[in-house]
Chains A and B, each alone.
Chain A
């Protein structure tokens, strides 16, 4: 891919960016985008929220997952940082704790794409057998 250096390069790239956006949004309507919020207060940042957010953005772009990632604040779960709040349209929001890059991928692949529950929901209300 060509290197982007100036605003002009960005302008030339706009079509590709729009294309990527449409693929993700057309499969579902825009309001059905999954909202992901990575808690980004001091506690979250210090325990690795930046890596989690980067991993999720990369994965969403690569697999064209209909989701947006934004930053959130501290929810008081400092002990369980990094935390990620996931709002799947039509479902109650869920907060995952102790998220790292691996768990972040699981959240996208299992919880968001397949609707499977995974461990790590806080406050704990789901545990797999054994």
Chain B
């Protein structure tokens, strides 16, 4: 994976497949603390402790189309190679939370990439799921929630190309604002 956004795009698919109704992504750029934290939480079907242990094994997957599952192992590898940490917290029936923490200034930390783009691509493909994004930059917070967006858009579907573009721009503008 070329950037952290691609990992998030991948991990979000797991939450979708787990039958989640609510998915939230938190990005915390704590430059003063030299930490970058990514949390993906869902209320999908969850995993038991045995599955949680096996899920970072590349030769474990719940799918049937192929025998390997690399999404989580690769994400873990990216976090660890920057000197960071990787946790999975899951409970059957309640959902899963994945926390990857990166060392911000480590030369092996992947660039963040276009978070807004991958987030909007996923929410537009899954209109029945509510997505939340919490973007923190040195303590300043921006929140995005599909519940209020759907209220405003009424009948216009999230898969409409104009909507995808507008939402991506909106999130990017707000992230840019946090950073100045």
A residues whose Cβ falls under 8 Å from a Cβ of B: 3-7, 9-11, 13-14, 16-18, 20-21, 40-43, 45-46, 50, 53-54, 57-58, 60-61, 68-71, 73-76, 78
Contact = CB atoms under 8 A, between A and B. Distances in A.
B148 A7 contact: yes
Contacts, number: 104
B43 to A, nearest CB: 20
Contact of A11 (B117, B152, B160, B173): B152
A20 B160 contact: yes
B18 interface: no
Contacts of A78: 66
Nearest to A64: B161
Contact of B9 (A3, A10, A45): A45
Interface SS of chain A: helix, strand, loop or mixed? helix
Nearest to A69: B159
A72 to B, nearest CB: 8
Interface SS of chain B: helix, strand, loop or mixed? helix
A41 B69 CA distance: 10
Contacts of A60: 161
Interface stretch (B87-95, B102-110, B118-126): B118-126
B98 interface: no
- Residue among B118, B121, B163 with the highest chain A CB neighbour number at 10 A: B121
Contact of B153 (A3, A17, A57, A58): A17
Given A4-B169, A18-B156, A76-B66, A71 B122 contact: yes
A91 B31 CA distance: 53
17 contacts: A3-B169, A6-B170, A7-B149, A10-B153, A17-B160, A17-B166, A18-B156, A21-B157, A21-B162, A40-B121, A41-B10, A57-B165, A70-B159, A71-B13, A71-B121, A71-B125, A78-B66
A23 B153 CA distance: 17
B65 A13 contact: no
A99 to B, nearest CB: 16
A16 B162 contact: yes
Given A4-B170, A50-B121, 17 more contacts: A5-B174, A5-B177, A7-B152, A11-B152, A17-B160, A41-B10, A42-B71, A43-B70, A57-B165, A58-B161, A60-B161, A61-B161, A69-B161, A70-B124, A70-B125, A74-B66, A75-B65
A49 to B, nearest CB: 9
B123 to A, nearest CB: 10
A121 to B, nearest CB: 19
A40 B164 contact: no
B141 interface: no
A4 B121 CA distance: 18
Contacts of B63: 73-74
